[in-house]
Amino acid sequence: MTSSVEPPAIYNDPDNETTLCMKKSDLKLQVAAAIQACLDKKAEELSILEMEKGSGAFTDYFVLCSGTNPRQVQAIADEVELRLKAEGLRPAHVEGYRQAEWILVDYVDFVVHVFSEKARKFYDLERLWKTAKRLEPAELKPAARRKVGLKLKAKATPRKRAATPAVRRKKA
C-alpha cells in the first residue's frame, strides 16, 4: 500500500518557478528580501540564524524579529508575504496570524518568525538554536561578479575644465 502524501501546493504549481533544489545565491537574495520587508515595517531585534546541516534543523535559515503590538506583527508578516510574492515565491505554510503573538511564515528553505515582544522573550529561539551561526543582513547579499581580463587605467591627475570666458549680453 502506498501513501498518497503530496508536496506542498507551492511545488505543484507549474507556473511557480520555485524548486526544491534552489541555488544558494537565489536563497540568500530571497532571505535578504524578507529581511528588508521586516525592516521596512520597523521590525525590532532582527536576527538571522544560519542553521547547521547536522543540527536537525528542517530549514537553512531563520529570520527572527519582533513587533511592538499585534497590528505591527501582522503588518510585518504581510509585508514579507507581499514582497516575496512579487518575486514569485509563496509560503508553504503560515501559522499564528490571527493571534499575532508569534507568526511563522514557512518558505521551506527559510522560515520567518515574527514575534510580539512578550512571546520573543518567552520562546527565546536564539537560545534554543544557539549552535546556529548568526548573520548580519549584509552577509546575505551575493558578492558582485568581477569581470576577468579588464584592466582599468589609473589617472595621474584629475582633468581640469578649460576656462571659458564669460560673455556679457548687452542690455537693449
**pLDDT at 1 exceeding the cut of 50:** no
pLDDT of residue 9: 43
Sheet-wide strand order for 110-116: 93-95, 102-106, 110-116, 61-67, 44-50, 133-135
| Nearest Cα to Cα of residue 16 among 93, 91, 105 | 91
Percent of the chain clearing pLDDT 70 (strictly above)? 66
pLDDT of residue 152: 46
**Average pLDDT rounded to a whole number, residues 38-50:** 95
| Nearest Cα to Cα of residue 43 among 20, 72, 16 | 72
pLDDT of residue 153: 47
Residue that the C-alpha cell 546575505 belongs to: 140
User: Per CATH, is 24-136 categorized as 3.30.460.10?
Assistant: yes
Confidence label for 166 from pLDDT (cuts 50, 70 and 90):
low
**pLDDT at 18 exceeding the cut of 50:** no
- pTM for this model (two decimals): 0.69
Boundaries of every domain in the chain: 24-136
